[in-house]
């Protein structure tokens, strides 16, 4: 995908040219923005650490595998191929893990197979929900259960729709 | 970050319950099956948090610099001006700064700029929460978590690398599926809102 790679340098070039035109001191302005980076990361860190330790425990204790296995029959009943149910269950927790799993599926079934296309759509149409919730709501005392459940339900239904669409499109 | 300390603690109750429950069950499994692997698992989580924070820091440096230039050049305002009213309805907010960050967050998501949406989303969420606007924060979170993006660049690159004949042919089903999840998510947030 050549043109996707063009977007970012083109954006920077266009913005910086515009900023020069507006007589902005680029160096001062850019460093002013970067200044916010460290406090932002520091404020997220404790919550990231707790969530990632928990998800590591969840994964390594076998709890996640047990839940995957228990849910697999329900998944196939809904039209999600059993080969990708692990991907669907992993994606909310781990971006890097599901990327690795996706390329495994590609090499095991061939990148143009129905399974691989379903997996690609499942991967592309959902997000690492728990990670995003940890980052976005870090430190807030808000009730997270509702938005997280809504996001999980929406993503799950979109996977079912995606698997259907892969059959016709 | 700590602007919501005045709220009663029970609001955060469920997160604590989930954390405690999963932690205790997993720890019990480790105790019975492989006690020596418990600490390495925790340390691996800590290591991941450290590594992730570093890579977040790197991308925040790039994008927060970029967005500061966008903001000070007046371009962000120009882009956001048309969106402020509809976004104000969507997020139930009149806070221009928060809405501007939210609009840039959505644009960055849509374009699929890696790492760019997060600092903007966090900024907007913090502002929404500071104004006691849990609805706006939920809406923005759900839109981000349902991944509204035009081009699934990572997937296409992975398929191309795996030798696909037409790596981009999942574009349409992915777009439809992700559009569906975003609309459904937004509708669910709207339907489950607290009446004002």
Per-residue pLDDT tens over the stretch A25-36: 999 999 999 998
**pLDDT score, position B13:** 58
Q: Is the pLDDT of residue A15 over 90?
A: yes
Binding-face residues of B in 39-98 toward A, CB within 8 A: 41-42, 44-46, 48-50, 52-53, 56-57, 60-61, 64-70, 72-75
Angle at B116 between CA A19 and CA A116, to 5 degrees: 135
Which tens digit of pLDDT belongs to each residue from B75-109? 888 877 888 888 999 999 988 889 989 998 988 88
**pLDDT score, position B14:** 63
Q: What is the ipTM of this complex?
A: 0.82
Q: Which helix (H) or strand (E) holds B6?
A: none
Residue with token string 């729709």:
A161
Instruction: Summarize the confidence of residues B180-187 as an average pLDDT.
Output: 94
**pLDDT score, position B7:** 40
Cβ-based contacts of A138 with chain B (< 8 Å): 1, 122
Q: Is the pLDDT of residue B8 over 60?
A: no
Instruction: Summarize the confidence of residues B168-191 as an average pLDDT.
Output: 92
Best of B162, B184, B187 to disrupt the A interface by mutation (most A CBs within 10 Å)? B162
Q: Is the pLDDT of residue B9 over 60?
A: no
* CA-only gyration radius of chain A, Å: 20
Cβ neighbors of A153 (< 8 A, separation 6 or more) are B184, B185, B188
- Whether chain A has a CB inside 8 Å of the CB on B154: the answer is yes
Confidence of residue B196 (pLDDT cuts 50, 70, 90): low
What DSSP designation does B35 have?
A: G
Q: Do B69 and A37 touch (CB under 8 A)?
A: no
Looking at chain A, the whole-number percentage of residues with pLDDT higher than 90 is: 31
Residue in B23, B37, B180 closest to A158 by CB: B180
Dist CA A125 CA A17 (whole Å): 35
Among chain A residues, CA nearest to B49: A49
**pLDDT score, position A63:** 86
**pLDDT score, position A89:** 83
Dist CA A65 CA A70 (whole Å): 9
* Residue from A79, A129, A124, A83 nearest B173 by CA: A124
Give the pTM: 0.81
Cβ-based contacts of B189 with chain A (< 8 Å): 147, 150
**Sign (positive/negative) of CA torsion A20, A22, A23, A25?**
negative
Among chain B residues, CA nearest to A103: B158
Confidence of residue B41 (pLDDT cuts 50, 70, 90): very high
Cβ-based contacts of B38 with chain A (< 8 Å): 57
Dist CA A25 CA B139 (whole Å): 36
**pLDDT score, position B143:** 93
Q: Do A41 and B26 touch (CB under 8 A)?
A: no
Q: Is the pLDDT of residue B6 over 80?
A: no
**pLDDT score, position A161:** 92
Instruction: Summarize the confidence of residues B28-37 as an average pLDDT.
Output: 93
Burial B89-124 (b: 16+ CB within 10 A, else e): ebbbbebeebbbbbbbbbbbbebbbeebbbbbbbbb
* Residue from B133, B142, B57 nearest B105 by CA: B142
Confidence of residue A101 (pLDDT cuts 50, 70, 90): confident
Domain map of chain A by residue range? 1-35, 44-168
Q: Do B158 and A48 touch (CB under 8 A)?
A: no
Residue in A1, A15, A107 closest to B157 by CB: A1
Spatial contact of A89 and A64, defined as CB atoms under 8 Å apart: yes
Dist CA A69 CA A92 (whole Å): 17
Cβ-based contacts of B60 with chain A (< 8 Å): 34, 36-37, 40-41
Residue in B26, B119, B173 closest to A63 by CB: B26
> What does pLDDT average to over chain B?
85
**pLDDT score, position A32:** 94
Q: Do A111 and B164 touch (CB under 8 A)?
A: yes
């Amino acid at each position: 995908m050549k043109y996707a790679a063009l977007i970012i340098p083109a954006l920077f070039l266009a913005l910086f040219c515009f900023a020069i035109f507006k007589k902005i001191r680029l160096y001062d302005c850019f460093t002013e923005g970067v200044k916010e980076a460290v406090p932002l990361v520091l404020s997220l860190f404790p919550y990231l650490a707790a969530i990632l330790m928990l998800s590591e425990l969840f994964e390594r204790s076998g709890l996640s595998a047990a839940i995957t296995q228990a849910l697999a029959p329900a998944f196939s009943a809904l039209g999600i191929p059993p080969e990708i149910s692990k991907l669907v269950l992993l994606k909310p927790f781990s971006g890097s893990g599901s990327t690795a799993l996706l390329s495994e599926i590609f090499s095991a079934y061939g990148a143009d197979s129905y399974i691989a296309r379903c997996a690609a759509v499942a991967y592309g149409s959902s997000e690492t929900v728990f990670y995003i919730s940890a980052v976005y709501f870090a430190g807030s005392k808000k009730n997270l259960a509702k938005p997280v459940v809504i996001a999980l339900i929406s993503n799950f239904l979109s996977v079912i729709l995606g698997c259907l669409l892969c059959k016709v499109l | 970050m700590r602007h919501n300390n005045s709220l009663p603690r029970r609001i955060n109750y469920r997160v604590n319950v989930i954390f405690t429950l999963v932690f205790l069950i997993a720890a019990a499994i480790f105790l019975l099956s492989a006690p020596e692997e418990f600490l390495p698992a925790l340390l691996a989580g800590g290591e991941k948090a450290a590594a992730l924070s570093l890579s977040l820091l790197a991308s925040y440096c790039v994008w927060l610099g970029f967005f500061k230039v966008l903001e000070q050049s007046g371009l962000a305002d120009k882009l956001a001006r048309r969106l402020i009213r509809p976004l104000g309805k969507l997020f139930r907010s009149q806070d221009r700064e928060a809405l501007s960050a939210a609009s840039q967050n959505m644009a960055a998501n849509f374009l699929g700029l890696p790492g760019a949406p997060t600092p903007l989303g966090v900024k907007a969420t913090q502002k929404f929460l500071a104004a006691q606007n849990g609805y706006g924060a939920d809406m923005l979170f759900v839109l981000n978590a349902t991944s509204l993006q035009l081009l699934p660049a990572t997937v296409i690159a992975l398929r191309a690398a795996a030798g696909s004949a037409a790596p981009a042919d999942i574009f349409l089903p992915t777009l439809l599926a992700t559009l569906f999840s975003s609309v459904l998510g937004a509708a669910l947030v709207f339907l489950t809102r607290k009446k004002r």
